[in-house]
Structure 1
Amino acid sequence: MKIRKHTLASIFLISILVVSIFTLFFAASISYKQIQSLNDSGKGVLESYKINLELEQLKTYAKDAESGQRGFLLTKDPTFLQSYQEALRKADESLVKLRTLTSTNSQQSKSLERVNDLIHQRFDFLARVLKSDRYNVYTSDSTKDMLIKGSYVMMRADSQVNKMIYDELETLRIRQMDHDRYIRFSPFSILFVVILALCVFIIAYSKINRDLKNLTRTNNQLLINKEIFEHSEQIANISNWCWNKDDNKLTYSNNLYHLLGCQPEEVEATGNFIEFVHPDDRQFVFESSQGASNDRLGSVIFYRVNRKDGALRYFKSSWKMITDNYGKNFIIGVNADITEQYN
């Protein structure tokens, strides 16, 4: 006989667990992706603001250089020349920063290179005018011509910078829309994960609580059944036993000790029950017990037993083999005192 496995509940619980873990991981990944997208969109918006600010500063530095040049040409005050040189240095630093900020945007990088060329052309005209003034080698017409050309180059540079600002504002608008969308959606995704986790925990708690209640009821019923079974054994003058073949451990029900008129410790787990068997029947009982380990269909034997008080009793023993869910073999049996029937 093989004990029937009740695997349906276990499979269901495992399936629920796997689905719950998968769902939580899926929801967590969505939440993480959403937060990451929110973070990226925020960086994109900030980057656009930085580019626009740096472009405006570049225009300011170029115009400061022009103002410093004009002030020096008109007043010959070295202070204006220092302002001019400081504006050139800041403009170069601004161009370096812009190259870094626009490195991921090929269109803006190309536009920045055109701005860079125009700005340096303008600075070249400014330097040539100052050089001519320093060495008094220019005429009014040549100075005017260089100033006009420089002004034209500056207008082109200013136009190119404005185009970059417009393009960046358009990029900023798109990034801002994405950022706003992520801001609106992110709380819902996080709330979804929290609610999902709570649902899983509530379902798990409900299932565990229900199982605990069922287990408590089952244990209570088992206690009642145990008492009923022990009382039935006393009335019927029978006892049961179980032999774990793997551990070679033999256990008896409490009523066996009553049938033998002794205490539990007087019948060891390894089984000195044979000592209570009538000497003439011991060999038969021993051989029958040895054959029980290979007898799956079970068997029945009759023999005599000497109680502790010396009374002679007639016993009937029957057994069969069962296999548990772990593949272990057990031999279960019943000993019955049939003295009254025999007489």
Structure 2
Amino acid sequence: MSAVAERTTIQVRPLTPVIGAEISGVDLRQPLDAATVAILKAAIHQWRVLFFRDQPITDAQQLAFGRAFGPLTPAHPIAEGLDDHPEIWQRKAAEYKSRRPDVTVPSAPPPRDNKGWHIDITFVANPNRYTILRGIDIPAYGGDTLFANLVRAYDGLSEPIKRLIDPLKTVHRTSGYDRAGSGKARRDGRATGPFVSLHPLVRIHPETGEKVLFVNPGTTSHIVGLKEPESRGILEMLINEITRPEYQVRFHWSPHALVLWDNQAVAHAGPIDYAHFDLPRVVRRITVAGELPQGPDGFRSQALEGELFNVLG
């Protein structure tokens, strides 16, 4: 089959009106040509998160897929990746329990925890652009992931609130959860934090120009220049906004599934029910390098403590 004929088989099937689409008709074991990458980029900017099923790829093929969208970062600013692939961060469901020892069954999340909702790695000044997560060992049930559209969350705010938050800046810092298990030195000699960064509360999407509500539950500590009760009240209101069900899509994992999402415009939570099941669940994640977020007033994020998220290539 010719490359042109193969490209015509790509199908984008939206899952909700506001976020999420399943992609079929592409084999991720094969290198992606420029036209295919362009189709996928257009889809991710429209639907924010793309789901690929039945993709039995190797670690090397996952890395090649990621590099089609830009340079890759190390696995994580604090934790290290696999010995043979430092770009890959492997996560097991059991680790969520060990890193959140306060979680038991039944449980109630601590204040502002919001059941694990977050944007990836915003405690650095240059969070990753895209995240690519691949299922390795997937249970028959449980372990679902939720995704929320942060552009729609901003759009849903009233105009007076938009005017209030557009110029505001926030501090993002590593939490106790981020630092858990980070006591040992890295093999590559890089510092393991702490990391603290100054970000706009609203960022401009660098590819689409849209305004994005850029608040990260558990990592955004406060709004600069406001009194503590004011900061807490506004952040709680905005966190409630980004976790509204109408901005979400829920993904039920299956063997050999892979998810690509726009970390510049998406918050996610998962596995959302890790405290309630003991089945094995293993995923491997890579991240595509991003840039310093920019606010509506032109302000660009700044590192207050710790290094930038570097690039491996």
Question: If the length of structure 2 is used for normalisation, what is the TM-score?
Answer: 0.18
Q: Relative to total residues, which structure has the larger helix share, 1 or 2?
A: 1
Q: Relative to total residues, which structure has the larger strand share, 1 or 2?
A: 2
Structure with greater contact order relative to length (CA < 8 Å, sep ≥ 6): 2
Question: If the length of structure 1 is used for normalisation, what is the TM-score?
Answer: 0.17
Q: Which has the larger radius of gyration?
A: 1
